Amino acid sequence: MSFKTGRGLTLATIATAAGVAATLGTAPAQASSMKPGTDTYVKVSTKAQSITSGVAGVDRSEDKGCFSDNTYNAIVTWKLGKVTKSSIRVKSIDIRHSNGRKIYVGNYALVDDNKRVWNKVAPGDVGKGAHHRKYTINKTLQVKKHKAYLVVKTTISSRKNEDALFCGQSAYIYFYLKQK
């Protein structure tokens, strides 16, 4: 199962993802037909907002040595409070995981211009199919440079007769939140 999104990544977004991934010890996964990150734009407003991201993930189903169900993607629904030109209040997130097989989600991290604002050790194994995970955040992100994002670290489980070194490696998926 593979989803595609029409939303593109800016060069700055890709550079930021690569920089963060290098800091975390690995490069972001490059999928044959899947974007490793997505941009979601929110309005500057004092009113509460609910906005859903595009789809981001990894698709190694067509890569040499990997099986056709070696896919993972997610969509994030952001529940927001006040959004200014320099900050975003994140009340909660709802992450919908969708995967071709069992995956292991290591952790979620919400990062702003300066630091990791929220970190959650994730649920671990997530079975095949679609699964929702909801988290209350209640944090204000400082985003003067429009760099707020959620990063999800995941590992698709390898199977017998599959290239575990490539097909089962960790991937970082990025959900960028930017003001309009």
**pLDDT (tens digit per residue) in 7-47:** 333 323 333 333 333 333 333 334 345 678 999 999 999 99
* Least confident residue range of 2-11, 45-54, 100-109, 130-139: 2-11
Higher pLDDT, 56 or 105: 56
Element (H, E) at 167: helix 164-167
pLDDT, tens digit, 9 for 90 and up, residues 53-64: 999 998 888 888
How far apart are the C-alpha atoms of 157 and 103, rounded to whole Å?
5
Strand ranges inside 100-142, DSSP E: 103-111, 116-126, 129-142
